[in-house]
Amino acid sequence: MKLVRYGAKGAEKPGLIDKSGQLRDLSAHVKDLDGAAYSPESLKKLAAIDPASLPAVSGNPRFGAPVTGISKFVAIGLNYSDHAKETNNPIPSEPIFFIKANTALSGPNDPVEKPRGSTKLDWEVEIAAIIGTRAKYVSEADALNHIAGYCICNDVSERNFQIERLGQWTKGKSHDTFGPLGPWVATKDEIADVQKLSMSLDVNGQRRQTGNTSTMIFSMAKCISYVSQFLTLLPGDIVTTGTPPGVGSGMKPPQFLNVGDVVTLRIEGLGEQRQEIVAA
């Protein structure tokens, strides 16, 4: 299934995209796509519904983030060797992770705000996992069993805030709109191999990032298992897993986003995002 939340901000409804690409309403079957909706029991019930029996949604409504009510938004850093090299960082010997504020979460095509005082606004196309069952001290072999599905995340980053303003990376990763998610969550049955997905990002129509999840330093399973050794992941939680090379801070000379720029992200099987940069 491809699960979505659609409608005006703050009034989103649950839905799904059927095999023909038609958006259909799920409101009669689930109140919203929160952690409980992504549990194995809930997904089994939703999968049993004939999509043709669901009301078709006309027009082109806004898509919101495809999960709500999360307890935490976890991000893995420097998880592609070429990205570590381009940013003059050593290849990590174990996963680096940090927390993005839940308030950073936004729809896949919502505008991204350039914060006040921002001088180095950057982009990062990433694949994110949505947790389906509680994960604490899980093994790498069992880790994927705790995932409900996958989606695109733009781990928007303000490098000045992140690196030059002291404190933790969270400072440069958590402004409102710094976590565009979606357009949909593809349940695990939709993705044959999460470690073989092409990914790309364009800025103003020019390619900046081209990569594949096959080149992750730490696999999706390793990331989930590792994070679960330090904190408990709950249903609905987001774990986004790092970006391939091509970020603005790695260019020579560095290039960053300005008001009016448009960023487009794609991951195989997970759709496309488009964001325009606006002033906060």
**What pLDDT is stored for residue 169 in this prediction?**
93
- What are the pLDDT digits (tens) for 156-177? 999 999 999 988 899 999 999 9
One domain for residues 91 and 16 = no
Same domain flag for 171 and 248: yes
Same domain, 124 and 26: no
For 215-235, b/e burial (b = at least 16 CB within 10 A) is: ebbbbbbbbbbbbbeeeebeb
Domain count, the chain: 2
Rg (CA), the chain: 18
Residues 175 and 204 in one domain: yes
Final residue of a structural domain among 63, 98, 115: 63
- Per-residue pLDDT reduced to its tens digit, 243-266: 999 999 999 999 999 999 999 999
Tell me, yes or no, if the pTM score tops 0.85: yes
**Domain extent at residue 216:** 73-279
Whether residue 209 sits in one domain with residue 108: yes
User: pLDDT tens digit string along 4-52?
Assistant: 999 999 999 999 999 999 999 999 999 999 999 999 999 999 999 999 9
Indicate the burial class of 143 (C-beta count within 10 angstroms; 0-12, 13-18, 19 or more): buried
| Residue 83 and residue 55 share a domain | no
Of 36, 110, 40, 102, whose CA–CA distance to 75 is shortest?
102
Indicate if 269 and 131 belong to the same structural domain. Answer: yes
- Same-domain pairing of 82 and 45: no
